[in-house]
């Protein structure tokens, strides 16, 4: 999972090494590069499928950045994603701009935020949000038992903050 932002943390459920209960009741925005060879963007399809199955699909929005690399976001792209989520938090409704509009928002932040820092070099980098539908996750991804909606892994602790 790459670049997950979530508005509000009310309760949490213990997860076991990446197998999550997906019982969240708060909005979530994910951001992933299309050319991530470490955590492939197909993970976002798997995440979407489980969140949908948990009945919380409307709380999730997913955006993609057309770039190679793992979590290879510019500050402007990250800030734009934060602002998109914050808008959802303040209005109660998703208003995820089109990729072109998000790119315009990111660009408007200024050149100092539209950079990519690799090692000691800083390279001007245009925002690259893109419309993208990740392919199906390439291995079985089923966190639920065969009978229905019970998580395959136990959720041992609900810890109210």
> Considering beta carbons, is residue 79 or 107 the nearer one to other proteins?
79
Of 82, 68, 90, the C-alpha closest to 3 is: 82
Total chain residues near other proteins (CB under 8 A): 42
Task: Tell the smallest beta-carbon distance from residue 39 to other proteins (Å).
Answer: 7
Whole-angstrom CA distances from 64 to 6, 81, 87, 116, 148 are: 16, 10, 18, 16, 31
Q: What is the CA radius of gyration of the chain?
A: 17
**Per-residue contact string for residues 2-41; x = within reach of other proteins by CB under 8 A:** xxxxxxxx--xxxxxxx-x-xxx-x-x-x--------x--
Task: Tell the smallest beta-carbon distance from residue 75 to other proteins (Å).
Answer: 4
Contacting residues toward other proteins, per CB under 8 A: 1-9, 12-18, 20, 22-24, 26, 28, 30, 39, 47, 70-71, 73, 75, 78-79, 82, 85-86, 89, 109, 112-113, 115, 117, 159, 161
């Amino acid at each position: 999972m790459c670049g997950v932002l979530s508005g509000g943390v009310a309760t949490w459920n213990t997860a076991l090494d990446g197998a999550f209960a997906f019982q969240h009741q708060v909005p979530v925005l994910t951001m992933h590069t299309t050319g991530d060879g470490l955590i492939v963007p197909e993970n976002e399809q798997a995440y979407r499928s489980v969140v949908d199955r948990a009945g919380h699909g409307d709380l999730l929005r997913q955006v993609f950045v057309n770039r190679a690399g793992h979590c290879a976001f510019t500050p402007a792209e990250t800030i734009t994603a934060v602002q998109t989520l914050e808008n959802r938090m303040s209005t109660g409704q998703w208003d995820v701009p089109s990729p072109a509009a998000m790119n315009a928002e990111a660009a408007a932040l200024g050149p100092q935020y539209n950079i990519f820092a690799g090692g000691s070099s800083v390279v001007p980098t245009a925002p690259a949000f893109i419309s993208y539908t990740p392919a199906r996750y390439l291995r079985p991804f089923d966190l639920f038992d065969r009978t229905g909606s019970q998580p395959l892994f136990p959720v041992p602790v609900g810890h109210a903050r």
